[in-house]
Amino acid sequence: MRSFSLWVPIAFAAVVFAVPAKDCAHKVKERVPPPRGWTKSAPAPADHIIELRIALPQPKFSELEQHLYEVSDPFGTRYGQHLSKEEVESLIAPEPESIHLVNEWLASHGLIEENLSRSPAKDWVIVKVPVSLAEEMLKTEYHVWTHDASGDAVVRTTAYSIPEHLDDHVELIQPTTSFSRFRNLKTSFRINDAQEKSALIPADAPPISVPSASGGHVDASCNQTITITCLLELYNAVGFKASAHNGNQIGITGYLEQFANKHDLQLFYADQRPDALNSSFKTILINGGENNQTLSEAGAEANLDTQFAYGLTFPTPGTFFSTGGRPPFKPDTLTPSDTNEPYSEWLDFVLAQKTLPQTISTSYADDEQTVPVSFAKRVCNGFAQLGARGVSLMFSSGDGGVGDGEEDPALQQCFTNDGRNVTRFVLSVPRVPFVTAVGGTIHIPETAVFFSGGGFSDVFPRPAYQELAVSKFLDTLAPGTYKGLFNPNGRAIPDVAAQADLFRIFLSGRPVSIGGTSAAAPTFSGIVSLLNSARLSKGLPPLGFLNPLIYTIHALEASAFNDITVGNNPGCGTPGFNATKGWDPVTGVGTPNFGKLKDIVTLDLLHIPGL
Ligand SMILES: *[C@@H]1O[C@H](CO)[C@@H](O)[C@H](O)[C@H]1NC(C)=O
Ligand SMILES: *[C@@H]1O[C@H](CO)[C@@H](O)[C@H](O)[C@H]1NC(C)=O
Ligand SMILES: *[C@@H]1O[C@H](CO)[C@@H](O)[C@H](O)[C@H]1NC(C)=O
Ligand SMILES: *[C@@H]1O[C@H](CO)[C@@H](O)[C@H](O)[C@H]1NC(C)=O
Ligand SMILES: *[C@@H]1O[C@H](CO)[C@@H](O)[C@H](O)[C@H]1NC(C)=O
Ligand SMILES: *[C@@H]1O[C@H](CO)[C@@H](O)[C@H](O)[C@H]1NC(C)=O
């Protein structure tokens, strides 16, 4: 039954092969070259349980995408008229025939409705099965694969097949060929040097004036220690009062057993936001996510994200989503499940909710080339559904400059993963067109921080909303620059930027200085949430999917963003790209000027002078 791998040509998936008569003919659905940086070891134990996610095609997805762009186009007549949960689901639903045929196939392997769970739109079927059954269903063989650099292990295969008659009714099945490694994006994590740092600046140093606000300034200490006050001043948001009661909410996602500690939050508030003392946030546990409030278990990433996002937006109600499940498992301890990259678990949960926070920030990523294209697209479609429902999604742009986010240059893997082994810039997520990617700055006046992730997707083509801004940048590159290292026609990131280093947070009871585009995403999200608060208080709908608005404002009212023109983002042994006038693949269109953005988004967008 497994002999097919010996003779099916490697390059193309669409090959039918002979099978014993009692089986129906199978067809290879997906085949990947052995992933670079991983070593195949023993066959997976037959009784190891895996959770198969089966994607049924979404034949009306392009209609959903059209709705998404219509309700997100600030010049469109439908701007802000977001879709309901039910409307989105009807545009995502598979054909009844697909559901029927897949059910029939599952039933032939003894899997009945009781064994299955389904996403709200029924476009995903999820079933826990032992490896032995998965191998039979997919005519494949699972192995334990070990990640060379970290020692992490996963149960995966490099090819799988499904019955031929299901080819048009199943888009993909995972975990099979996905070798992604999910990680959070904090880079420069330094315990307890917070006091030393601020001591470097004399107490009587004059304030630094900032270009964004007329006559605005920040305290001199902000050049070495970023606090809530620094950000409110720098981004021209001092004095704005968010509402606790207009329905506005902000959400932070947490993965990888990161817990946001409530005691640390109070210490942070006492330090930086005394009026928020005693306020807290709601934690939602997803897919076995945990919430261990023991002080020593506090997560640096989760504390950073929540302290700054909630601190910037107080008294806006905050939610922390703690999603469990991560791909690698320890082959010796045989954990009971070996899940997919956890974005899909989170999406299953939030898409099933009637009401959602209007602004959600994520500071976790995996590398683009480690996620199969089919899977990346489906996860991306999940983000589009949230956008259509009026949710703004912010993601950190990555901490490896144009490289893969490995801090140690010796570990950087600047090669394609397609078997050709050619040198290539690599991107972390999110190069997805339907989310807003946030790059990083440092110091005041702001310059690009060296680790700010940026570049061009090999998977997603450049969306229309950024065509003008990105092609202007490409025109500034000397002919032949980095030829072959990036795809000039790809979705370009980041879209925007915010401060990303020297943040003062509290962790396990102590002040800590921390950095990464991990810090930039909750910061930019905080500003977006304040904009949403201003809109909701005026009876206007939330901003939803931001990118068409961001690039429109940038084209017509560029001063609503602080253009970053100094710095670059080295990686893969190159100096990376330069921050330039206008959009660039280091800091996007720049950092936000809240005051100006608020004026724009709380007026009737169609009648702003100049817009
Ligand atoms: C499917 O559900 C049935 C009935 O609850 C159960 O007996 C069977 O063990 C389940 N199969 C699997 C693979 O979990
Ligand atoms: C902030 O710090 C940077 C880096 O040390 C320095 O170049 C810059 O001049 C400082 N800004 C001010 C206003 O002193
Ligand atoms: C927080 O609670 C403490 C103890 O109940 C109280 O003394 C303090 O005034 C409260 N602070 C705020 C800002 O509400
Ligand atoms: C929380 O973490 C502490 C310290 O690591 C541990 O002793 C405790 O068992 C954990 N609690 C739960 C509910 O997991
Ligand atoms: C790919 O190329 C790099 C650099 O030339 C080399 O170090 C590595 O061994 C190659 N890997 C494979 C699998 O050919
Ligand atoms: C970045 O700017 C430097 C200095 O102007 C220039 O030499 C270099 O070619 C630029 N790099 C790119 C990728 O454009």
Q: Is-contact 209 486, C-beta < 8 A?
A: no
Query: What average pLDDT does the structure give for the chain?
Result: 86
CATH number attached to the domain at 246-329+338-601: 3.40.50.200
- Expressed in angstroms and rounded, the spacing between residue 116 Cα and the centre of ligand 1 is 9
- The percentage of the chain sitting over the pLDDT mark of 90, rounded to a whole number, equals 63
Write the residue with the smallest CA distance to atom 3 of ligand 3: 278
Catalytically active residues, by annotation: 301, 305, 518
Q: Is-contact 290 259, C-beta < 8 A?
A: yes
**Which residue ranges make up the annotated binding site for Ca(2+)?**
563-564, 582, 584
* Residue ranges in the chain modelled with pLDDT below 70: 1-23, 181-200, 212-215, 325-341, 366-370, 405-413, 416-422, 427-430, 604-611
Q: Which residues line ligand 2 (CB under 6 A)?
A: 208, 223, 443-444
* Domain spans of the chain, in order of start: 9-58+93-179, 246-329+338-601
- Buried b / exposed e across 463-472, counting CB within 10 Å, b at 16+? bebbeebbee
- Distance in angstroms between the alpha carbons of the first and the last residue of the chain: 64
Q: Angle of helix 85-92 relative to helix 373-388, nearest 10 degrees?
A: 150
- Expressed in angstroms and rounded, the spacing between residue 578 Cα and the centre of ligand 6 is 6
- Expressed in angstroms and rounded, the spacing between residue 442 Cα and the centre of ligand 2 is 10
**Shortest-distance ligand to the CA of residue 579:** 6
Tokens of 51: 């959770």
Q: Give residue-wise pLDDT tens across range 106-165.
A: 999 999 999 999 999 999 999 999 999 999 999 999 998 888 877 778 889 899 999 999
Write the residue with the smallest CA distance to atom 11 of ligand 5: 421
Q: What is the pTM of this model?
A: 0.90
Write the residue with the smallest CA distance to atom 3 of ligand 5: 421
For ligand 3, what atom is nearest to the CA of residue 277? Answer: 13
pLDDT for res 370: 67
Provide the 10 A C-beta neighbour count for residue 16: 13
- Expressed in angstroms and rounded, the spacing between residue 507 Cα and the centre of ligand 5 is 41
**Shortest-distance ligand to the CA of residue 210:** 2
Q: How far is CA 460 from CA 6, 343, 377, 443, 489, in A?
A: 33, 18, 8, 33, 9
Element (H, E) at 379: helix 373-388
Q: Is the dihedral of CA 104, 106, 110, 114 positive or negative?
A: negative
**Shortest-distance ligand to the CA of residue 217:** 2
